[in-house]
Amino acid sequence: MIADHYPALQIVIPLLCAPVCMLVRYRDWSWAVALFGSWASLAISWELLLQVQGAGVISYEMGNWAPPFGIEYRIDPINAFVLLIVSAIGAVVIPYARESVKREFGVNRVYFFYTSYLLCLAGLLGVTITGDAFNLFVFLEISSLSSYVLIALGRDRRALVASYQYLVMGTIGATFIVIAIGLLYAETGTLNMADLAKILAEQPTSRTIGAAFGFMVVGVSLKLALFPLHLWLPNAYSFAPSVVSAFLAATATKVAVYVLLRFLFSIFNVELSFGVMPLDTILLVLSVIAMFAASAVAIYQKNLKRMLAYSSVAQIGYMVLGISFANVSGLMACILHLFNHALMKGGMFLALGCIFYRIASVRLESMAGMGRRMPLTAAAFLIGGLGLIGVPLTVGFISKWYLVEGALARGWWPVAILILLSSLLAVVYVWRIVEVMYMRPVPEDAPEIEEAPPSMLIPTWILIGASVYFAIDTELTVGVAKEAATLLLGGAK
Amino acid sequence: MHIAVGLYNYWIVVFLMMAGFYIVVAQGNFIKKIVGLNVFQASVFLLYISLGKVAGGTAPIIGEGIQTYSNPLPHVLILTAIVVGVATTALGLALVVRINEAYGSIEEDEIHKQDSES
């Protein structure tokens, strides 16, 4: 009985927990509410994934209004998987947040964090689960507005400016998406995604649809920080509180990538996206530049959070590169890397948060001898870094494997070589840190420090451990990714 | 002639959109950027409202002698978008207040200068 309403509960639980969090205010209680909200979301999204694998696409009619007029929540293997990623990261981050947030915000302000975190989670899950184009915009704005707040909670005053810049660029992106949805509505008279897909497939491409397509791609690219629209990302990630960087890096851009996939393949069809519009070439060029330019910039960063942020821009390049191949292996690489990068980057940001908790710095020069001062944290960071490079036995290898396969299947072997070359840049920026952490002696005036508290260390290792586990046991991830990629390419029904 | 005059509302939309976008990009003052953002968003509201309007149509009410009525859906959608716009503006202005407290300025150049010095 209640199982029929999981799609609604997925959104409603975190959304309702948010005001409750605001009302209870008291620090550990608001933490407990957030813990309940995020763990319940995880349980529901796991159930939904199982249901989808068993029974196929789930269509949930919000308030019993039948689609295409009512709002439909539609869950297929693709968004079930993204839901699981988002809620899993959310669930891992919250136990970690307890200590970290207290230290970074001051004990009396923690409920601000938990409230906006829950709203952000509800927004991200909503974007993923909905089958209605306008509803997607509303949820996107819920998640974006709360992430501006989350970033502005950073201690450094530069966090305010970073948040402001993100707000301006994010709003422009969202407004572009609304324009696109408006033009699509003008042409088709519907907002339901499945209905849109059906009508668009029957119509020849008019200028209105072309314009809608352009606005949509640019708007979503702003949200997912595709080069050269990534300018908001490095500042936002480097000045946000540690937990926020980890949570946003692992979820926000991933959901935007999902939106791009959904629109390019499910709503507009492959023929329109890559035949009528030359999007494959554009995405190919931009993502290759992102892989090289952002990795090269990452090499010169002294602030490790900023380095990870630039590396995120490069890694988003890999995902978009997978989309540009428009074949099964390419899309599988994209979806796998969504998951894998969330684990690695989330884990690395959490590890940095552990270091920041102890020494209140994320500068490269203060990392000297960290391999001996905080061995477990440094090891987690190292394994995450190996994953970014794509070393075998880490998840990064799996996604790069399918990416190279996709490039070869498309006959673009120079691109395959570029993928391998760009990994060398990752070797450089990861090695710099390994060198400082493990080869340099502990400075003599450095105070004696302990490992991070277990409540922070365990979540970090859960993500890093998962990033190794899913490299060895690829059955779940590759299976789901394959199903999702085939579905996307087979036309959305 | 039809394109120039008959679609005048769309011309206004395009003009406002470009003007707002230009303000956001060209202005260094954080408040002016928010104003630009608002103009930009308002143009989209007008776009949606124009889409829903049927010439000679009334509000969608069942009653004597009412034959044609405008499409209410885009209008309702834009109510939601207005709420989102208000929330964005409020948050943006709140951030500007905090920035002013932290830096003593809301000019982009001045703030970058302070950051690069520190």
Nearest by Cα to A99 from A305, A351, A357: A357
> Do residue B92 and residue A163 have CB atoms under 8 angstroms apart?
no
β-pair partners for A303:
A363
> Do residue A141 and residue B21 have CB atoms under 8 angstroms apart?
no
Tell me the pLDDT tens digit for each residue of A367-376. Answer: 888 878 888 8
pLDDT of A392 over the 90 cut = no
Q: Tell me the pLDDT of chain B (118 aa) as tens digits.
A: 677 777 888 889 999 999 999 999 998 899 999 999 999 999 999 998 888 887 777 878 877 877 888 888 888 889 999 999 999 999 999 999 999 998 888 888 888 888 887 6
- pLDDT confidence of A1, banded at 50, 70, 90? low
For residues A313 and A361, the model is more confident at A313
pLDDT of A303 over the 80 cut = yes
pLDDT over 90, % of chain A: 26
pLDDT at A257: 92
Q: What is the mean pLDDT of residues A306-312?
A: 91
Chains A–B, number of C-beta pairs less than 8 Å apart = 67
Nearest by Cα to A477 from A359, A335, A381, A378: A335
Chain B touched by A171 (CB under 8 Å): yes
| Contact partners, residue A180, CB within 8 Å, separation at least 6 | A211, A212, A213, A214, A215, A216, A219
pLDDT of A491 over the 60 cut = no
ipTM associated with this complex: 0.93
pLDDT of A105 over the 80 cut = no
Determine the residue of chain A that is closest to B32 in CA distance: A168
Q: Which residue is listed with tokens 């897909």?
A: A197
- pLDDT confidence of A172, banded at 50, 70, 90? very high
Q: For residue A160, which residues of chain B lie inside 8 Å, CB to CB?
A: 95, 98-99, 102
Q: What is the mean pLDDT of residues A9-25?
A: 88
Distance from CA of B49 to the nearest CA of A (A): 10
d(CA A271, CA A269): 5
Is the dihedral angle over the CA atoms A492, A209, A142, A315 positive or is it negative? Answer: positive
> Do residue B92 and residue A160 have CB atoms under 8 angstroms apart?
no
Determine the residue of chain A that is closest to B108 in CA distance: A161
Determine the residue of chain B that is closest to A155 in CA distance: B102
pLDDT of A266 over the 50 cut = yes
Q: Which one of B37, B77, B81 has the shortest CB-CB distance to A168?
A: B37
Structure tokens given for B116: 């690069």
pLDDT at A167: 93
> Do residue B99 and residue A175 have CB atoms under 8 angstroms apart?
no
Nearest by Cα to A223 from A167, A280, A185, A304: A167
Q: What is the mean pLDDT of residues A344-356?
A: 90
Residue type, A487: L
Q: What is the mean pLDDT of residues A84-104?
A: 88
Chain B from 27 to 46: CB within 8 A of any A CB: 30, 33, 37, 40-41, 44
Q: What is the mean pLDDT of residues A49-76?
A: 84
pLDDT at A52: 86
Nearest by Cα to A391 from A344, A322, A355, A338: A344
Answer for the pair B48, B78: CB distance below 8 angstroms, yes or no.
Answer: yes
pLDDT at A492: 40
pLDDT of A226 over the 80 cut = yes
- pLDDT confidence of A476, banded at 50, 70, 90? confident
pLDDT at B21: 92
The interaxial angle of helices A242-261 and A77-105, nearest 10 deg, is 160
Q: Which of A69, A153, A161, A188 has the most B C-beta neighbours within 10 Å, making it the best mutation to test the interface with B?
A: A161
Chain A from 376 to 405: CB within 8 A of any B CB: none
Q: What is the mean pLDDT of residues A335-361?
A: 89
> Do residue B40 and residue A167 have CB atoms under 8 angstroms apart?
no
> Do residue A172 and residue B77 have CB atoms under 8 angstroms apart?
no
pLDDT at B1: 65
Chain B touched by A182 (CB under 8 Å): yes
pLDDT at A486: 85
d(CA A232, CA A225): 8
β-pair partners for A60:
A73
Structure tokens given for A110: 């923690």
Least confident of A106-110, A170-174, A360-364, A405-409: A106-110
pLDDT at B118: 65
Q: What is the mean pLDDT of residues A276-298?
A: 88
Is the dihedral angle over the CA atoms B113, B116, B117, B118 positive or is it negative? Answer: positive
- pLDDT confidence of A493, banded at 50, 70, 90? very low
Secondary structure of residue B21 in the 3-state scheme = helix
pLDDT of A302 over the 80 cut = yes
> Do residue A182 and residue B47 have CB atoms under 8 angstroms apart?
yes
Chain A touched by B51 (CB under 8 Å): yes
> Do residue A178 and residue B96 have CB atoms under 8 angstroms apart?
no
Q: For residue B92, which residues of chain A lie inside 8 Å, CB to CB?
A: 164, 167-168, 171
**In whole numbers, what is the pLDDT of chain A averaged over residues?**
87
